[in-house]
Amino acid sequence: MPLKFFPVSTTTKETVKFTKETYLYWYELMLLLRRFEEKAGQLYGMQKIRGFCHLYIGQEAVAAGCMTATKPGDTFITAYRDHGLAIAKGISAKSCMAELFGKATGCSKGKGGSMHFFGVKERFFGGHGIVGAQIGTGAGLAFAEQYNGTDNVSLTFFGDGAARQGILHETFNLAQVWKLPVIFICENNNYAMGTSVQRTSNVMDIYKLADAYDMPGDTVDGMSPEAVHQAVQRAVKRAREGGGPTLLEVKTYRYKGHSMSDPQKYRTKEEVEEYKQRDPIEYAKSKLLDDFKVPEADIEAINERVKAEVEEAVKFAEESPWPSADELLKDVYIQEDYPFITD
């Protein structure tokens, strides 16, 4: 779903009021991400999608708020729970679903699968399966923009588990030394696979890790697209003006398991239900109905449009061809005639 350009908000002395168009965009985008992921989970159970698969269900407000706070030229890079951010950034649902099926029409030509979505045109640079690996690459993307003299910024996403990786500290130091235009966004959904932050970190507030590098840091309500938008907007403005990096700890929650094989014995059903009371999609819907008096028929039209888009994506994936055998050694090295040993 491409981002439409419209006035996002109006500002008063006390508060920021977002427009009806913004809530409509947020609602449709978040609903698309939710329905896409629900369908992916269903198809995984039917063994039409195989391998690892990490769903974004519950975390949609992060993608929504980041999209309205950035511009198309800004880069996104994330870990293996990448479907939502990829679609938000503009990679089509068809291309994403085809990638999950391993088809040649997928956004990574069927070679990446769930964890390795990619879209150069859309400025989405993965999808990375190695925990924390994308943190350094995200700073590299920011360095490229700085070197080329653009005002683009890099949004570098990682989970709370990756906050314990050594590359994070090395990257934070260099990003601050060089004042790179990078926003480090920790999507803290409380669990690194099945291990809570409390069991693995002496620092409960991950945003405070920025203090060691004199980097601005903040904590954000990740179930609120408004809060995410405002925090990212502040950080992006600072980065574009040459102020350097920011660490945002976005506190969110995934409603499904870490992956499709997760029995979720580390948390209670009551905990999950408590977070479902703060579902960002239902919140956006209520804002549209109650505050902006959007007719129910308009909401239903969005629902049907999203349903049709997901159904079309599945049909496209089903009907797309498999990659041909001669694709096996392509896209490994940039040098097309790289001397592989093939015997």
What the block records as the tokens of 205 is 């507030």
Across 261-287, average pLDDT = 91
Helix residue ranges, H only, the chain: 20-45, 60-68, 83-89, 93-101, 133-148, 166-177, 197-200, 225-240, 269-276, 280-286, 296-319
Per-residue pLDDT tens over the stretch 56-66: 999 999 999 99
Residue 341 has what pLDDT?
Answer: 66
H or E segment and range at residue 182: strand 182-188
DSSP helix/strand/coil, 11: strand
In the chain, domain spans = 9-257+266-327
Across 245-266, average pLDDT = 90
The more confident residue out of 6 and 167 is 167
6 pLDDT above the threshold of 80: no
**What architecture is the 9-257+266-327 domain classified under in CATH?**
3-Layer(aba) Sandwich (3.40)
Per-residue pLDDT tens over the stretch 115-126: 999 999 999 999
Across 248-272, average pLDDT = 88
Per mean pLDDT, which range of 101-105, 201-205, 228-232, 318-322 is the poorest? 201-205
Per mean pLDDT, which range of 65-69, 105-109, 196-200, 280-284 is the poorest? 196-200
Residue 14 has what pLDDT?
Answer: 39
What phi-psi label fits residue 27: left (phi over 0), alpha (psi between -120 and 50 degrees) or beta?
Answer: alpha
